[in-house]
Amino acid sequence: MRGVIAAGHPQTAAAGAQILGRGGNAVDAAVGAAFASFIAEAVLVNIGGGGMAQVFNPAEGRSTVYDFFSTMPGLNGKPPDKPDFRRILVDFGPTQQPFFIGRASAAVPGVVAGLCQMAADLGRLPLEQTLRPAIELARQGVEMTPALAYVARILTPIFTDTPGLAAIFAPNGRMVQTGERLRLPQLADTLERLAHHGPDLFYTGDIARQIVADQQAHGGLITETDLRQYRVRRLEPVAVPYRGRTVLLPPPASLGGVLIAFMLRLLEPLEPARFTHNRTGHIRLLAEAMRVANQARAEQAADILPGPAQDEAVRRFLSDAVVSRYRQILTRRLADTPLPPDLPAPGGPSSTTHISTADADGMVVSVTTSAGECAGFVVGDTGITLNNMLGEIDLHPQGFHRLPPGQRLSTMMSPVIVLRGGQAELAVGSGGSNRLRTAITQFLSNVLDFGMDLQTAVDAPRVHFEEDVLQLEGGIDAAVAGSLEQYGYRVNCWPDRNMFFGGTHAVARQNHRWTAAGDARRGGTVEVVVNGE
């Protein structure tokens, strides 16, 4: 077997499988699939966003985190007199949510730099071969799936905000529908140039000049210095022992990775498997662990920021003294009624996607990308759209445009790798804003505590506790909801599985072979490559 891949769209997974079949390794497959996702999953992610990845290299027996999330723009620049920063109201049916878009909502994009750096460091194929499936997909187009058509419909005000973007996503005067083909020929041309020139095209070359010119002409903040000085960060993962394994999680800019590590440390001595899965006792344990993690985040995690002091801040937050104190709070909460209120917790962009890959040599990759909801415009005739990370309310609790230029934004993205006996056993990640950390934690517990196989662990109904509401996904017994209400929980029961609860695409070595599981909540698809093309 050459390798496996799990991703959020059939064409994304097919691109990775094609690269594996041509002799690429897991890094080549993950990078090529990520670029393909910018076409196949264009209403969720784009080439002007940011991301985070983790790669286990069996030749070295170590894992490296690649942080290529967005940074605050404005280095050596003068703020525009009239920033292009506009409020858009998106109708989700039961509720409406404001988003901010425009040129001044775009943070410095890092995804091209990060993916190309991974390919240069650890890939086997030349960039032209790695990008070929994405280029072909952009030219031929991709049919809209029902799930992505739903997202497109919800975000119609953003994708039709400017004529250039509307020409792509609403070519007939309405948003592209299920079964219709979305084509991105201008982006295909840009990817062809990227294959030839490499990432310098985006950061010091012609594309960089076009991005800066567009920003200067239309009230944006990104400068030539921002792009030229952008750097991918290679980091050591945060390592947490759990049930005889080592769970490797990304450090800041991923606050999500640190919070997952904290929840695992809370849970392990309390033995989740002593409860019946998804019955009252088990769900109460999960809900109170989530509540306590929110409390610890508010009280202890304010100084966990990307930078030279991050390692010490993370060590302090995950120390025995801090975790034990909050575990005692958790234990008391399980015994006490009435329940205390939950503290508000900032989230992050919900428009994310994840890819997990593994190859026959034991190289494993977990990569998550996001562009927020898209900034609502296209850069000239490049086909490039940018992120709106500066317009994400959850990422800027102190107010918009307050961060200093050059500072890395924080993210919930958490690409995870699990080791056993020094070798990679599992890789997983998820989309889903604040829910992705609880989705990943539950998936890991399903596998490591309850011994579920990969697909069962992915499919199992999930819960999420936030802002004093316990969300129960469809598939959890109604009697359990009633019992939880008697304990004082305000319960919201969902009728079915839903993308609200994340999308945990995973690969794992089980019974001496690699398997994969895609999460149907977010279009999950699996490809297993046995032989070459």
* pLDDT tens, position by position, 99-131: 899 999 999 999 999 999 999 999 999 999 999
Which pLDDT band holds residue 256 (cuts at 50, 70, 90)?
Answer: very high
Is there a single domain that holds both residue 185 and residue 332? Answer: no
Is there a single domain that holds both residue 371 and residue 342? Answer: no
- Average model confidence (pLDDT) across the chain: 93
Structure tokens, 387 = 């992120």
The CA dihedral of 174, 175, 180, 182, to the nearest 10 degrees, is 120
In a domain, 326, yes or no: yes
Is there a single domain that holds both residue 151 and residue 76? Answer: yes
- The residue range of the domain holding 443 is 255-348+431-510
In a domain, 413, yes or no: no
Is there a single domain that holds both residue 436 and residue 316? Answer: yes
pLDDT reading at 348 higher than 60: no
Is there a single domain that holds both residue 261 and residue 214? Answer: no
Is there a single domain that holds both residue 207 and residue 343? Answer: no
Which pLDDT score is estimated for 94? Answer: 55
Is there a single domain that holds both residue 48 and residue 174? Answer: yes
Is there a single domain that holds both residue 145 and residue 273? Answer: no
Active site residue 352: yes
Is there a single domain that holds both residue 259 and residue 214? Answer: no
In a domain, 423, yes or no: no
Average pLDDT in the 385-396 region?
87
Is there a single domain that holds both residue 171 and residue 278? Answer: no
* pTM: predicted TM-score of the whole model, two decimal places: 0.95
pLDDT reading at 358 higher than 90: yes
pLDDT reading at 514 higher than 90: yes
In a domain, 244, yes or no: no
In a domain, 212, yes or no: yes
Residue 477 CB contacts under 8 Å (≥ 6 apart), including other chains = 278, 279
Is there a single domain that holds both residue 44 and residue 68? Answer: yes
In a domain, 13, yes or no: yes
Which pLDDT score is estimated for 345? Answer: 55
Structural domain count of the chain: 2
Which pLDDT score is estimated for 93? Answer: 62
In a domain, 247, yes or no: no
Structure tokens, 447 = 């596998």
pLDDT reading at 350 higher than 60: no
CB 287 within 8 A of CB 294: no
**Distance between CA atoms of 285 and 259, rounded to whole angstroms?**
16
Which pLDDT score is estimated for 92? Answer: 62
Structure tokens, 225 = 């210095």
| H-state helical runs in 268-336 | 280-300, 310-317, 320-335
Q: Which of 352, 369, 382, 385 is catalytic?
A: 352
Q: What is the pLDDT of residues 272-296, one digit of tens each?
A: 999 999 999 999 999 999 999 989 9
Structure tokens, 249 = 């999680």
Is there a single domain that holds both residue 263 and residue 124? Answer: no
In a domain, 190, yes or no: yes
The CA dihedral of 271, 275, 279, 282, to the nearest 10 degrees, is -20
> Phi and psi (nearest 5°) for 161?
-70, -35
Q: What is the pLDDT of residues 194-251, one digit of tens each?
A: 999 999 999 999 999 999 999 999 999 999 999 999 999 999 999 999 999 999 999 9
pLDDT reading at 349 higher than 60: no
- Report residue 449 CA to chain centroid gap: 24
